[in-house]
Amino acid sequence: MRTVIFLLVLMVVPPVRMMAQVYDKPSFSLNSHPTLELLGIVKWEDQTVVNIRIKNERISGSFCMDKETYLVHSLGTEEWKMTSMDGIPACPDQYRFKSIGEVLDFSLIFPAIPDEVKYIDLMERCEDACVSVKYILLDEEMNTRINEGFSLYEIGRLSASLQVFEQIMEAGYDDYSPVFGTLYLYMMSIHYELGQSKEARRIFNELKASSIIGREEFIETARDAGLAR
């Protein structure tokens, strides 16, 4: 009788979904919208969920996402079209913010991404003010270490932040991965804030001499930010 009851329980209990891979606040290199934040990326066996927050900084601001939004393999040719979204209207409908400083959290859902893909771009293909987030890093250990440095930077512990970034560079620098382009920019910024312009220039020269993917974009970003000439 116990065997029969056990089999009946198995028949009525829904299957448990496989454990997801979660990337909390994944690092990225270049962002078209300064107030857009990646809260996390969750990789399930059958889909990928990108959780986003955007902050309004304009009177009567509005926001939407185009249905033609993709995740693109930063280092390859594969791309995955968005299948659905939650918490945000599809353009041309708009979410209209009620005040300056209001934040909107929403999710974009895509097909599953292979585990071997470590860098992705979020690309909205539209006509105006399109969202673009490049070189999103899908590496939990590296993201944790980089976020430690970012957190120290945000609370003004510049020397401690610089030390974390330098340790990451020393331990894992490969003159190739675009995440190190981001670290170059932060290290340059910290050196300038510490009054160490010669060190900032040295870091910029290292960036120019590197073979990092997206190098020209990082160089342009450094110049646009006034970190280099």
* Domains parsed from the chain with CATH numbers: 21-137 (2.60.40), 140-224 (1.25.40.10)
215-222 CB contacts, 8 Å cutoff, 24+ apart: 215/181, 217/29, 217/30, 217/134, 217/181, 218/29, 218/30, 218/178, 218/181, 218/182, 218/184, 218/185, 221/30, 221/185, 222/184, 222/185, 222/188
Residue range 182-197, pLDDT digits in tens: 999 999 999 999 999 9
Q: What is the pTM of this model?
A: 0.83
Pairing mode, strands 103-111 and 119-124: unpaired
Residue 18 banded pLDDT, cuts 50, 70, 90: low
Residue range 95-136, pLDDT digits in tens: 999 999 999 999 999 999 999 999 999 999 988 889 999 999
pLDDT at residue number 6:
41
Residue range 171-228, pLDDT digits in tens: 888 888 998 999 999 999 999 999 999 999 999 999 999 999 999 999 999 998 888 8
Residue 105 in contact with residue 45, Cβ under 8 Å? no
Q: How many CB atoms lie within 10 A of CB 203?
A: 24
